[in-house]
Every structure is written in structure tokens, then in C-alpha cells.
Structure 1
Amino acid sequence: MSGREGPDRLQAGGDTGSAETPGATEGVRPAGPQGRVALEVRKRFIMGLAALPLLPRDPGPPPSALGAPGATLTLLAANVECTMADADAQVAALLDADADLVCIIEHTTATADALARSAFGELYPHVSEDVDEGWFGSLVAARHPIVDRRLLDLGGRPGHVVDIDVDGIDIRVVPVHAQAPIEVGDVSLWHTTIAAAAAIAEGCDRPLILAGDWNATGGHGHYRRALAHHDLVDAQARVGRRWFPTWPVDHPIAGIRFPPFLPLDHIVTSRDVLTEALERIRVPGTDHMALRATLRLPA
């Protein structure tokens, strides 16, 4: 355990998850401005093709079919971007969101140090983290007790699964970061990481929440099929939003700054979890909007 860890804090493997996973970077970026422009255009062209057509998504059963309602849980999922300029400002934004549960994607030592300098540990006494200096670190912080946690491979990238006791209801939470299709060769990992995240639902005996950067829109065929195959529901569909863009934020593409136009971040749940509200939260220093959901667990 490191100096940041307390009795309810687990650094779930340091940076070994990424280091021991073949190709655990998001791709090699070509040098020079022209190369970077070509890279961005190719990356987003691939993602744009995968987003079409935007087919209707199953919003899940009506609330009346879910049985007696249980506890309410607020959840924040944020890709903080590992190259962020001001981790302290990011932590302040995470605290302002005032969620019961926080999932951080691209969790690095800089993020962990900023959390330690803040009141985060007082508000979230139960923490499981997998620090990585690349793109695949993650953290789950909760006001409720963490009862189990483990690392696993998710389609060729590090995964992190956490079980939490919410007022007597055991739930499973997974911070998701699917491979980004920066290079054409990344597309296969893009698909396998999406499929592997959804496959956690197999044999899961408790409400399941998979939250983070799926690097896919709701129209992406592999994403839709993965959710349908495992009987999972996108919170965006549950609240009636067909297009809820979270990327890019202050991220020039071919030298042009666009407002967010791709919904790459999602909170996905098993069908027994009801989404009552969903909103986007601006976090400084990252090119993703965070998502904050109000969820109703089954009794």
C-alpha cells in the first residue's frame, strides 16, 4: 500500500495492469503537425462510420415492471484525460458534482496526488484504484463500503471490477475505457474491449453498472449488439435521449474547435436498475464531458 492508502483504500495493482497487457497504449502518434491532423481525421472518420445508422435503442422496461424501488444512487463517470493540465481543478469539479459514487477514467499518479490534497478522502472513504500513467488507469470511490474488487483483462486492455454494498444491496461497478480507434489496427481491440465490458453481465448475480468512456456512439453496431446480447440498457435511452454528445471539449480537430458532437461516454446498467436522471458535467482540462446519473436500485 502507498502513502495515499488508508484501511479502505486499495491500489489494485499499480501500473502493472497496463504494463503487462500487450499494446497497452492507444496508438503511436505520428510526428509533425500534418501527421497529427491526419491521425485525428482518420480516427474520427472511423468512429463516424461506426456511428451510422443511428438506430433506435431499447429503453428497457417501464418503471412499473421493475418491482419495488430500492435505494437511490448518484454516480459520476469522468474521463479526466491523463495529459490534463490542472488535476486540482479537476478534483474540485468532481467534488462539486456531489455524487455518491465516482468512476474516474485515465487515473494517474497526478490525479491520485490531487485527490490526496483535497477533501476527497473524507467524502469518499471507500476507494479502489488502479493507477496507470497511460490511458487505462481507473478509480472507483464510494460513500458506501466496497466489499470486493479485482483486476481482469477486458478484451486486451486492463479492467477493474468493484462490488459495493449500498444500504444492504450489493451492486457491481465497472469503470469502462474501451480502446480508441486511433490507428486502423486498433479497430479490432476497439470491438473486443466493448464486447468484453458488456460480457461482465454474464453470470452477474447483482445490479450492474458499467460507466465511462466506451469510445462508441449509441449507433455503433458492436456497442448496440453487445448491450442487447447481455440484456443491458444505456442510461441515455432510459431517459429518452437519442444523442447526448460528450466529445470533443476544447479539442481541435484538423485545427478547428467543434462543440461536442459524439456521445462516446455512457452509463450502462442491467435492466433492474432504473435511470431517473442524466446530466453532463464540465470538468476542466479534459476533452470529455462527465456524466452524472441518478439511479434507482431494485429493493
Structure 2
Amino acid sequence: MLLVCGVAWTLSPWWGVFTDRLPVAVAWLLPAAQSTWPTGFAVAVVAAVAVVWLRCRRAVAVGATVAAVLVCAATVLVPGVLGRAASGTPGAKAEGTVRILSVNTWYHQASDAALAAMAREMDADVVVLAETSAAEVAAVEAATGLQSVLPTSTRTRGGGTALLVRPSWTVDGSVADLHLTRHQNPVAELENFTMTGVHTNAPAYSDLVGGWVTEMDDLRTWAASVDGPLVMAGDFNATAAHPELRRLMTGLTDCTGGPGVADGLLAAPTWPRAGNIPVPVLRLDHILVRGFTCADAGVVGVPGSDHAGIWADLRW
């Protein structure tokens, strides 16, 4: 039974999109299982070893145990290794590229000074700040010369999502709040592409799962309606293991690195970087693009935040 459960857990990312059809009280269990599928794989491996011990010779059982230990260790160590490999402030921006920086500031607890310095040193063209505040936005504006396209929302504690861009890039009359998510959802038509900041519900709670599924569907519908190059950056509260995100990404690319850099299920994790387990294991933050080539990308630590920041250099 344990082996069957482990295999089912491992395969949960491929079960399809039906989270919203489950009873509300248990619906959150499916996205939770999907995002933690490596744990299910480890459970399946341990169960398989137990079967081997019961049915095979001792030498075979010992070998299987060693292999299982290595596999289980990998499920713990690989996310950290991937995160470290992709970490670091990017170098000088190449000519002809657009640099995007996105940070969930953990209810605006991230260091304003560190955020401002990071955006300035990166020479970011666009900055997205989720769970931010007016003071945090002002600090980044002062340090970089970028401007927020909308005032920061205060309708909920973590509801402020800021989209900061180079002032000369914004097309007059194009700025709006899409209101496609529970949190602020700023969008602006820039000179050569459409840019939006995203922060969705977290499907870890039974009362938020339905909203998260709806938000992902609404974002997908909106993205399909936009003509030309598009960038969607922020905290999607979803990993590549979630069918809802993969469906949203139809026609889009998740910019996680340059050529040869792991992506998809093996992309560098961004959360959690604080709390009881300050080792990122999930890639919840994404820069989704259409009409661009991902020249380079990575993650960067942000003092005071429970998320790693993500950045990407995009080329037309």
C-alpha cells in the first residue's frame, strides 16, 4: 500500500487539471502533493526497499538500501545545489537585452536598502515587487530612476504588487490593474512589449484553492488575448509540477536561465528562504515570456524576504 501511495504521489503532477472539482476541504492536498512529488518518489523508493528486504537475498537487499539512501539524499540535496548554482547577481547587461527583476518582499519585510541597491547594481529595466509597500517602492524608485506605473495597493496586507519601469518606455493610457488576481495586478504597454506583475493566491489553504485555479485560468485567457511580445513576472504560487501553471504557459517560456541551464521541474527553487526550513525547495516565482529569447537568468538572495529574487535578461 505504501508503495502504491508513493508511486501515485510521484505521478501527481501528471494527473491533469481537476483541483477545483475536489471537495473544498481537501482540494489543497492535490497542489500540495504535486509540488512535493520528490517526497512521494522517496516514499516509493523506501517502500520498494522494504519489499526487497522481505523477498530477496540479504546482499540484494543491502544494495537496494544503499541505492535508496542515495536517491532519498538526492531529493533533499538537489534543490539546494540547483539554487546555489543559479544564485548570484548578474554581470553587466548585454546590449540589446531587457533585464527583469522580480521579488516577493514577504509582506514588505525585505530590506528597502538592499532591494534598492540590488535593482540599481543590476541596472534593471523592469522591477516587479510583490507584497510590497509604498515606502519600499519609493526606495527603489529613488535608487534606480524607475517609476511605479500605479500607486501601491493597500487593500490587503500582502496585496501590493508594484511594476516599476523606465519612465520613457510606458505608452500613455496603457496602464491598468487587471484585477485578475486577489492581489494587485499591474499591467502596462511598453514601447515594444506588454508587461504585467503577477501575485496569485496560495493554493496551500482550502479557502484559497478555488481562487488560485480561477486566477490561473484568467491569466491564461488574458495572455492569449494580448498581441505581440509579452512578459508576466512575479509570484505565481505554482511550480512546473502544477498542471495549472503548465496550461498557463501555453505559448510562453519560463525564463530560468540561458542555454544548458536546468528548467521545468529542475529549475532553481525560490521558496522558502526563511522560517523553520530556510532552504528553498520550490520554484514559485517565474518570468514567463513570449516573443523573447532568454539570454540569461538566475536567482538572488534578498535580505528579509522568504523568497529568492529572480532575474532574467531577455533578447528580441
- TM-score tier, shorter chain, comes to 0.5 to 0.7
Deviation at 1:182, TM superposition (A): 4.0
Q: Determine which of 198, 215, 236 is the counterpart of 2:237.
A: 215
Contact 1:130 1:160 survives alignment (8 Å): no
1:236 offset after TM fit, Å? Answer: 2.7
Which of 146, 151, 156 in structure 1 is aligned with 2:177? 151
CA distance 1:209–1:181, shift in 2 (3 Å): same
Query: Number of residues paired by the alignment?
Result: 226
1:135 aligns to 2:124 (yes or no): no
What is the TM-score when the length of structure 2 is the normalising length? 0.64
Any idea what the Cα deviations from partners look like across 1:235-292, whole Å, max 9, x if unmatched? 138754232100011222xxxx24111000011012x211011111111111111111
Consecutive aligned runs of 4 or more in structure 1 exceeding 6 Å deviation: 42-45
Structure 2 counterparts to residues 113-128 of structure 1, below 5 A: 113-115=138-140, 118-121=142-145, 124=146, 126-128=147-149
Q: Would you say the 8 A contact 2:273–2:307 is kept in 1?
A: yes
Query: Structure 1: 5+ residue runs without aligned partners?
Result: 1-41, 55-69
Tell me the residue number matched to 2:128.
Answer: 103
Give the letter aligned to residue 90 of structure 1. Answer: L
Deviates more, 1:156-165 or 1:280-289: 156-165
Q: 1:187 and 1:275, CA in 2 relative to 1: closer, same or farther beyond 3 A?
A: same
* Counterpart position of 2:52: none
2:286 pairs, out of 246, 259, 266, with: 266
When Rg is computed on C-alpha atoms for both structures, the one with the higher figure is 2
Label 1:196 to 1:238 Cα distance change in 2 as closer, same or farther (>3 A): farther
Distance 1:113 1:235, change over 3 A: closer
2: CA distance, partners of 1:212 / 1:77: 6
- Percent identity, aligned pairs only? 27
Distance 1:151 1:112 in 2: 17
* Matched residue, 1:279: 298
Question: Greater RCO between the two (CA within 8 Å, min separation 6)?
Answer: 1
State how 1:163-242 maps to structure 2 within 5 Å: 163-165=189-191, 170-228=192-250, 231-236=251-256, 239=259, 240-242=261-263
Deviations along 1:51-77, one digit per CA (max 9) or x if unpaired, are 2668xxxxxxxxxxxxxxx94211111
Counterpart residue type for residue 102 of structure 2: A
Q: Tell me how large the CA RMSD over aligned residues is.
A: 2.6
Kindly indicate which of the two structures has a greater share of residues assigned to strand. Answer: 1
